[in-house]
Amino acid sequence: MTTHPVMPAPVHYSPQNGHFELTESTRIHATGTALSVADHLAKALRPATGFALSIDESDNADAGTPNTIALTIGTTALPSPGYLLTVDESRVELRADDAAHLFTAVQSLRQLLPTAIEATTVQAGPWLIPGAEISDYPRFVYRGAMLDVARHFFAVADVKRYLDRMALLKLNVLHLHLTDDQGWRLHIDSWPDLTALGATTAVGGGSGGFYSKADYTEIVEYAASRFITVVPEIDVPGHTNAALAAYPELNADGAAPAPYTGIEVGFSSLSIDKEVTYQLLDDVFREVSELTPGPYLHLGGDESLATSDEDYLEFIRRATRIAASHGKTLIGWHEMGRSRDLPEGTIGQYWSFVTPRDDADKRVASFIEQGGRMIMSPADAIYLDMKYASEEALGLEWADGPTTLHDAYHWDPAAIVVGVTDDHILGIEAPVWTETIDNLRDLDYMAFPRIVAAAEIAWSPREGHDWAGFTQRLADWSPRLDAAHINYNRVSDVNWPAPADPK
Ligand code: TNX
């Protein structure tokens, strides 16, 4: 069993003799588009080391200068875009096919340093990096996490902390579930009451909240600086009580329902026959598309149990055309595959079980037949809002009871629907629905350590998956979470080291 300190497991890791010592006089070398990544590395290393770590951008820097960490963008000749990382006594070299993969190399380097590097205050060295040769590239291009900010609202600062955690694990897509029955969380200029009235509640009756356009842009830019794409979701036609409560005209009977603070699903629907519904969609999809630099717009489409079959198909036909007219590639939960009339290339997000139920496999086939690919999020394996164990206070249990770390690690995205293999799969995504979660500490607790399993399934080759090795590596790695003040669940299937002394 190979043990190494990098999560998710690299494709190839080979320890080498000796080590590189990061010192006061170590310099970082980078030019061109590698500079922003070098800057990120320096910022990550300065707080705990207290070193200046200046960035040398000179074009003609001697390639052999010692005591240097050199970042380069150039071909790696790996089977798909990735990075090479070598550490010897004199130099650390990071080379990647593009800036995004160079950034993932930086995450590996961070994890080769002593755990204390994650601290936010100056720590004692020495800062030794063990000799190593790593060549590494991801299995899937889409490595996502979803945060439901509708059931409970999460402030911009908390979303940024979650993005930091994602970056460490080489996750590169944040899907924001922005609207649901309990709240509409993004300001829309042309329909201001969506937030003025529709954002004032949350599950359990809390005060809610919403993102201004400036807030949303702040999230998008923070994500982009970490090579993370934001996917906004406007969930329609169901999951819309907050919008229906804000604008009576969106209701079939013209009467606004009361705000909703419970956790049932499947009772709300936009009026399918009224033209005002499609005016709303056009305005909302236009404004959201304008704010979102990434290529995707998620339309939800799940659990529309209050919409007849005929109405659902008519709605999806019109809504997807309107959304596509704003230039985005659409994503829908797998129910949207009921439609055989989707814009070509629409992506499906699978949320049924590791063993498909309720024709979910047919919905997947429908997306693929219509030229799309899949994001796999099987609820009984990767829904991070499921309880770890029945006696836990946080989480839900509907996906066949608790989801242990073992469950989170033991599934393969290409073994769920017969005939749906890596070529049809864009990637995987780990959602956190927030009916029972309303703060970052609890969010971390539900995510960690299962999100590490998700990251390994998204990134590392299937052949390398190994439960005994994973749990050993996780136990060795977990002090990093303590050092970074990230809360986590000490599930019983890992032989955790003793908890760090509380400071
Ligand atoms: C199902 S899966 C939902 C959400 C809930 C979640 C709770 C899916 C697309 N919808 O509305 O929040 O279960 O786990």
Residue 63's CATH number: 3.30.379.10
What mean pLDDT is reported for the chain? 96
Within this chain, do residues 110 and 219 fall inside the same structural domain, yes or no? no
Q: Tell how far the Cα of 98 is from the centroid of ligand 1, in angstroms.
A: 36
In this structure, which residue's CA is closest to atom 11 in ligand 1?
265
Could you tell me whether strands 83-87 and 329-333 are parallel, antiparallel, or unpaired per DSSP bridges? unpaired
Q: Are 250 and 271 in contact (CB under 8 A)?
A: yes
Task: Indicate whether 287 pLDDT > 80.
Answer: yes
* Atom 10 of ligand 1, residue of closest alpha carbon: 302
Q: Kindly report the CATH number assigned to the domain that includes residue 368.
A: 3.20.20.80
Distance (Å, whole) CA 106 – CA 44: 9
Do residues 86 and 120 both lie within one domain?
yes
* Catalytic, out of 249, 303, 314, 392: 303
How far is it, in rounded angstroms, from Cα 461 to Cα 139?
Answer: 6
Amino acid at 479: P
- Number of structural domains in the chain: 2
Is the pLDDT at 60 greater than 80, yes or no? Answer: no
Query: Do 386 and 403 reside in the same domain of the chain?
Result: yes
Residue 143 CA to ligand 1 centre (angstroms): 19
Q: Which atom of ligand 1 is nearest to the CA of 399?
A: 14
- Residue 502 covered by a domain: no
Residue reference for tokens 């300001």: 187
Contact 255, 241 (CB under 8 A): no
**Model confidence at 160: pLDDT above 80:** yes
pLDDT at 113 (0 to 100): 97
Nearest CA to ligand 1 atom 5: 433
pTM above 0.85, yes or no: yes
Is the pLDDT assigned to residue 292 strictly greater than 80? yes
Structure tokens, 15: 């320890």
Q: What tens digit of pLDDT does each residue of 398-419 get?
A: 999 999 999 999 999 999 999 9
Pick the atom of ligand 1 nearest to 239's CA. 11
pLDDT at site 492: 85
Q: Which residue range is the domain that position 454 belongs to?
A: 142-483
Q: Which of 88-92, 123-127, 368-372, 493-497 has the lowest mean pLDDT?
A: 493-497
Q: What is residue 503's predicted lDDT score, i.e. its pLDDT? A: 47
Please give the structure tokens belonging to residue 259: 């705000």
**From 239, 433, 438, mutation site for ligand 1 pocket: most ligand atoms within 8 A of C-beta:** 433
Query: 148 C-alpha to center of ligand 1: Å?
Result: 9
Task: Examine the domain organization and report whether 307 and 220 are in the same domain.
Answer: yes
Distance from C-alpha of 175 to C-alpha of 474, rounded to nearest angstrom: 26
Put residue 358 in one of left, alpha, beta given phi > 0 → left and psi -120 to 50 → alpha. Answer: left
Longest dimension (CA), the chain: 75
- Whether 310 maps to a domain, the answer reads yes
Ligand 1 nearest atom to the CA of residue 349, by list position: 9
Pocket of ligand 1 (CB under 6 A): 265, 302-303, 333, 351, 383, 385, 396, 433, 435
Does the pLDDT at position 203 exceed 90? yes
CA-379 nearest atom, ligand 1: 2
What is the spatial distance between Cα 18 and Cα 130, in angstroms, rounded to a whole number? 6
pLDDT at 1: 45
Find out whether 453 and 470 touch, Cβ atoms under 8 Å. Answer: yes
How far apart are the CA of 433 and the centre of ligand 1, in A?
7
- Is 299 in the same domain as 351? yes
Distance from the CA of 357 to the center of ligand 1, in angstroms?
A: 15
- Given 136, 161, 187, the domain boundary residue is 136
State whether 428 and 289 are in the same domain: yes
Asked if residue 62 and residue 210 are part of one domain, the reply reads no
Cα 27 to chain centroid, rounded: 32
Same domain, 123 and 152: no
- 425-451: average pLDDT: 98
pLDDT at residue 62 in the model = 61
Question: Do residues 123 and 150 share a domain?
Answer: no
Q: Is 493 part of any domain? A: no
For atom 14 of ligand 1, the residue with the nearest CA is: 433
Angle between helices 156-168 and 213-224 (to 10 degrees): 20
Look at residue 246 and tell me if it is in a domain. yes
Question: Same domain for 210 and 356?
Answer: yes
Q: Does the pLDDT value for residue 186 go beyond 60?
A: yes
pLDDT (average), residues 293-304? 97
| φ/ψ of residue 211, rounded to 5 | -95, 130
- Residue whose CA is closest, atom 4 of ligand 1? 433
pLDDT at position 64, please?
82
Rounded to whole angstroms, how far apart are CA atoms 61 and 84? Answer: 20
Pick from 361, 364, 362: nearest CA to 347: 364
Sheet holding 68-73, edge to edge: 12-22, 127-136, 83-87, 91-96, 68-73, 27-29, 55-56
Q: Is residue 2 part of a domain?
A: no
Q: Which pair of structure tokens corresponds to residue 253?
A: 């009977």
Tokens of 117: 């590097």
- pLDDT interval class at 59 (50, 70, 90): confident
Give the model's pLDDT for residue 501: 60
| Three-state SS at 249 | helix
Cα separation, 362 vs 359, whole angstroms: 5
Provide CB contacts within 8 A for 389, sequence distance 6+. Answer: 402, 404, 492
Q: Kindly give the distance from the C-alpha atom of residue 432 to the centroid of ligand 1, in angstroms, as a whole number.
A: 9
Nearest to 352 by CA among 421, 420, 398, 391: 398
pLDDT in tens, 10-36: 999 999 999 999 999 999 999 999 999
Q: Are residues 88 and 188 in the same domain?
A: no
Give the Cα separation of 403 and 380 in Å (integer).
6
Please check whether residues 66 and 158 belong to one and the same domain. Answer: no
Ligand 1 atom with minimal separation from the 396 CA? 14
Alpha carbons 38 and 161: distance in angstroms, whole number: 21
Residue whose CA is at the smallest distance from ligand 1 atom 12: 433
- The verdict on whether 303 is a catalytic residue reads yes
